């Protein structure tokens, strides 16, 4: 909807079909005179860790950067402002493919607060609800719900004759109210913070925690390129498994495990420290850059990959293979892989 909408303003849309390497997209922005750059939080974080300098030897005309796919950490806001200039408008958006739009996003006339989405989108009545279907106090975390219809909200899914798929996807918790599956809190400034998927929430001793805080802490470590965490049920208590994609020269040894635990404890809390850390070659993401936390959890619990996720929406389907292998191992009674084992497609 955003891409179609800008055509009505007679603006030009630049699309790139290829591998979005750290330098190439900035080159295209310079070559095409791009003024509004839409990208993902994962790309911005990767550019930060790779030490890329977008403005070096490039004539960039970027006035605004929009980020989506996953929460953009405060460090990402700061990095963009430092590299592109303090007057560059940096905004993060949250929405859904099935509604073809954003629920919360950027507003050019409002101030930008680090780590926050600026305001609900026009026409989107967004609230944070508790388990009983009541709005939570300002600043508390709750389920992201839409309490009124949107113009682009679907009435049916293709091939869903009885409406069960649509109901189970969005209306199974609060009757008649769209529950999107994100964990959100609203701030005194009128903005919002997305804390990750509510159905991927980590439960440690009865305390629910979002995953975005954990990812922000992990990606400050130079050895870690990407990460995915899941909370798996276990007879002895839920186990948090952390899967990490290591930088080329890094090794998952006891020293790195110790530094991971220390960084998570310092930046988050002792409850956030994972039970196991496993190295993988890649973590699965959708074409829009979203991590597949819930499908990976279902696969690790023994569900076939074809039932857990629509493979057509994946940017890197091969990344699922090690998780399928680990799910098979768990199905035969092993709770996880031996320490230090690296699994890869």
The CATH 3.40.50.980 domain(s) of the chain lie at 1-92
Q: Is pLDDT above 90 for 334?
A: no
Residue 29 phi/psi, 5-degree rounding, is -60, -40
CATH 3.40.50.150 fits 201-343, yes or no: no
Q: What is the pLDDT of residue 34?
A: 97
CA distance 233 to 335: 10
Residue owning tokens 């009757």: 175
Q: Is pLDDT above 80 for 2?
A: no
Among the listed residues 58, 68, 32, the one whose alpha carbon sits nearest the alpha carbon of residue 76 = 68
The CATH 2.30.38.10 domain(s) of the chain lie at 114-199
Q: What is the pLDDT of residues 227-285, one digit of tens each?
A: 999 988 766 667 899 999 999 889 999 999 999 999 999 998 888 899 999 999 999 99
Query: Would strands 202-204 and 36-40 be described as parallel, antiparallel, or unpaired?
Result: unpaired
Q: What is the pLDDT of residues 107-127, one digit of tens each?
A: 999 999 999 999 999 989 999
Question: In terms of pLDDT, which residue wins out, 15 or 213?
Answer: 15
Q: What is the pLDDT of residues 33-71, one digit of tens each?
A: 999 999 988 889 889 988 999 999 999 999 999 998 888
* Other CB atoms within 10 Å distance of the CB of residue 284: 26
Mean residue pLDDT of the chain comes to 88
CA distance 218 to 213: 9
User: Can you name the CATH fold of 114-199?
Assistant: Luciferase; domain 3 (2.30.38)
The CATH 3.30.300.30 domain(s) of the chain lie at 201-343
User: Can you name the CATH fold of 1-92?
Assistant: Rossmann fold (3.40.50)
Q: What is the pLDDT of residue 206?
A: 66
Is the whole-model pTM more than 0.85? Answer: no
């Amino acid at each position: 909807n955003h891409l179609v909408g800008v055509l009505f303003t007679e603006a030009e849309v630049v699309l790139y079909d290829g591998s979005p390497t750290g330098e190439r997209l900035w080159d295209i922005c310079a070559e095409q005179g791009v003024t509004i750059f839409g990208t993902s939080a994962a790309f911005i974080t990767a550019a930060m860790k790779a030490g890329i300098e977008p403005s070096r030897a490039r004539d960039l005309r970027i006035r605004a950067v929009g980020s989506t796919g996953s929460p953009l950490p405060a460090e990402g806001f700061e990095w963009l402002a430092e590299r592109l200039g303090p007057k560059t408008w940096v905004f993060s958006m949250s929405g859904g493919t099935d509604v073809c739009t954003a629920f919360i996003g950027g507003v050019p006339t409002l101030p930008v607060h680090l780590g926050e989405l600026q305001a609900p989108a026009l026409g989107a009545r967004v609230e944070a609800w508790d388990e009983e279907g009541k709005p939570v106090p300002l600043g508390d975390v709750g389920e992201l719900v839409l309490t009124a219809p949107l113009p682009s909200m679907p009435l049916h899914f293709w091939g869903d004759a009885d409406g069960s798929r649509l109901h189970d996807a969005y209306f199974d918790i609060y009757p008649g109210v769209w529950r999107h599956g994100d964990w959100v809190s609203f701030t005194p400034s009128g903005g919002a913070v997305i804390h990750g998927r509510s159905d991927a929430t980590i439960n440690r001793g009865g305390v629910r925690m979002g995953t975005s805080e954990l990812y922000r802490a992990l990606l400050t470590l130079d050895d870690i390129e990407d990460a995915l965490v899941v909370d798996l049920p276990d007879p002895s208590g839920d186990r948090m498994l952390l899967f990490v994609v290591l930088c080329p020269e890094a090794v998952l040894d006891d020293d790195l495990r110790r530094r991971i635990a220390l960084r998570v404890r310092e930046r988050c809390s002792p409850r956030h420290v994972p039970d196991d850390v496993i190295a993988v070659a890649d973590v699965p993401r959708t074409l829009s850059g979203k991590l597949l936390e819930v499908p990976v959890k279902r696969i690790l619990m023994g569900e076939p990959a074809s039932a857990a996720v629509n493979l057509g929406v994946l940017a890197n389907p091969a990344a699922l293979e090690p998780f399928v292998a680990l799910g098979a191992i768990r199905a035969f009674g092993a709770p996880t892989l031996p320490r230090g084992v690296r699994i890869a497609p």
